[in-house]
A and B are shown apart, each in its own frame.
Chain A
Amino acid sequence: MATPDTASAAPSLLDRLTGANLQQYVVYVGFIAIFIFFAVVLRDSGFLTQRNLVNIILQTAPVTIMAIGLVFALSAGEIDLSIGSTVAVSALCAAMAMAAMPQVALPVGIAAGLGAGLAVGFVNGALVAWLRLPSFLVTLATMGLIAGVARSLTQLRSIPVTDPMFTGIFGSGAVFGIPSLVIWTIAAIAIGHFAFRQTRFGAHVLATGDNARAAMVTGIKVPRIRLAVFLISGAMAGLAGLLYSGRLQAAKYTLGETDLMTVIAAVIVGGTLLNGGKGSIIGALVGSLMMGMLNNGLILMGLSVSDQMIVRGLIILVAVAVSLRETAR
């Protein structure tokens, strides 16, 4: 048996335990703390009713789905700022395709929505993987570009989504009493977590984000990994677009517009590093639910929209600062 090398200048065991624990579990502690706070303060305002709690999950579903994609992108050392506008363009493409071909609405809607997301992901990924442009700048540019496309597609009009199959599967439907949005969330989290934690692909994503040179010399096809994370990110934004348009029974250029900050906050609070090499899908789920709960609670508390924005911004700031404390040293 090897014994620990006590002569080395490694941090003490206590240091490591508390440091790692704090960062790893801050999202769970924060989640429970906020939950208890609202449960007490809002006990007469219906926060704890089953309907309200289910509502939080339903409203959070698109953000959770986008967060999965962002965990992959950040873990690979990249960032995707274009997910918010990709949501809108995917929803609009799906709605327009369904309006054009109402007989086969469901398949063309899914294909158009996911296809739009994948197309954006491919453009982002190709520019980053092969031209080695920084993803921050690439996706900052495509974010604006796609937001413009979303506006020009429909001259700012909203497009109704009426196909009952589509709105059932991506919106108001339920299987055995479980709302479809909950099923989507669980399925995406389960598959995402498996791919991230249990497969070679997930390991290669982490290695690429951690030390791209090391990944390359050990035979990992780094450009392919970079392209793949943007395809995942784009597809997840596309799925989020389908979920929004299914639930609201309409698509508009404003969908997903304000989600980017929420998604980034959820992912970072959930223990994913901003500069790669470390991430958590489950953490992103809890982070996303925490953001949803915060939204819901602040509304129930009767805060004005402007006050909500200020309080939410402050809480995200604190949460991100605490979760980054460990890695910043």
Chain B
Amino acid sequence: MNQPVLALNNIRKSFGGVVAIEDFSLTVHPGEIVALVGDNGAGKSTLIKIISGVHAPTSGSIVIEGESVAMSSATKAREHGIEVVYQDLALADQQSVYMNLFLGRELTRGPFGQLDRNTMVAETQRLVDELDVRIPSPHAAIRDLSGGQRQGIAIARATRWAKKLILLDEPTAALGVAETARVENIVASLKARNIGVLIISHSLDQVFRLSDRICVLRRGKQIGIRKTAETDKNEIVSMITGLEAA
């Protein structure tokens, strides 16, 4: 494939004397889904925070489409076309679906900067149709939606704004079986949009269903990267736990 949307080179992060991430390197290409797996405390969250601009790495470089970037804040990361779907979804419950899709980036028109609700509603409808997120209406309040619908909206928002990369942090942790399947379909459909996806998940079944490559992290160390088609669960489990597979 062509040049990666995201390249992390020798990323190292320490908090005081504690090393959270040591020497981590990873590339994500357009239209590729890369899974990041590892036990609790392996450093996945820290890594997500580094890529989304919450933490600056202690050393190492972040390269986006060939351009080395210094990301000082989440705003900067967004400017570079990176969107994060947080585990808590970061949706405003009382507000409508369409206002959430455009939260912080509302469209306006006219000399007094009126909200352009018609365009926002139309675009929301188009996007949820494309992604097959089934909601009653773009006008529905988030709090009236189910968990799967909310997750769908959070992903739809990231899709609307991401130009290069979407980070998904445990997208189905709180969902039932049917809803998980729906969300996985949406994630799989992102490949067609030529966006890179980095997904964190505890479910190995899910990782094997969705990803092209799997990157394993253990206690801040990068254990290895495998092509999903060329590995199996036993190998990944032994990489995560550090125990040789029987």
Contacts and interface: CB of A to CB of B under 8 A. Distances in A.
Interface stretch (A37-45, A113-121, A198-206, A283-291): A198-206
B224 to A, nearest CB: 31
A199 B115 contact: yes
Contact of B92 (A7, A16, A214): A214
B104 A207 contact: yes
B238 interface: no
Interface string A5-35: 1011111000010000000000000000000
Contacts of A155: none
Contacts of A199: 108, 112-115
Interface in B72-130: 74-75, 78, 84, 86, 88-95, 99, 103-106, 108, 112-115, 125, 128-129
Give the interface size bracket for A toward B. Answer: 20 to 34
Contact of A219 (B75, B94, B99): B75
A289 to B, nearest CB: 26
B145 A10 contact: yes
A215 interface: yes
Interface string B146-170: 1011000000000000000000000
B177 to A, nearest CB: 12
B232 interface: no
A220 B132 CA distance: 28
Interface stretch (B1-9, B15-23, B133-141, B206-214): B133-141
Contacts of B105: 218-219
A328 interface: no
B104 A5 contact: no
Nearest to B129: A2
A200 B105 CA distance: 8
A277 B104 contact: no
B229 interface: no
B178 interface: yes
Contacts of A273: 94
A125 to B, nearest CB: 21
A325 interface: no
B95 A206 contact: yes
A217 interface: yes
Contacts of A218: 90, 103-105
Contacts of B86: 217
B144 interface: yes
B179 to A, nearest CB: 8
A215 B92 contact: yes
Nearest to A210: B92
B106 A203 contact: yes
Interface in A241-267: none
A152 interface: no
B146 A8 contact: yes
A273 B93 CA distance: 13
Interface string B190-208: 0000000000000000000
Given A4-B134, A8-B146, A278-B94, A214 B108 contact: no
28 contacts: A1-B129, A2-B135, A4-B134, A5-B134, A5-B146, A8-B145, A10-B136, A10-B144, A10-B145, A10-B146, A16-B144, A198-B115, A199-B108, A199-B113, A200-B115, A203-B106, A203-B115, A207-B99, A207-B103, A210-B93, A211-B93, A214-B89, A215-B104, A217-B74, A217-B90, A218-B105, A219-B104, A220-B104
Interface of B: 74-75, 78, 84, 86, 88-95, 99, 103-106, 108, 112-115, 125, 128-129, 132-136, 144-146, 148-149, 178
Given A194-B112, A214-B103, A217-B86, 15 more contacts: A2-B132, A5-B136, A8-B145, A11-B144, A199-B108, A203-B103, A206-B95, A206-B99, A213-B90, A214-B90, A217-B74, A218-B103, A220-B103, A273-B94, A277-B94
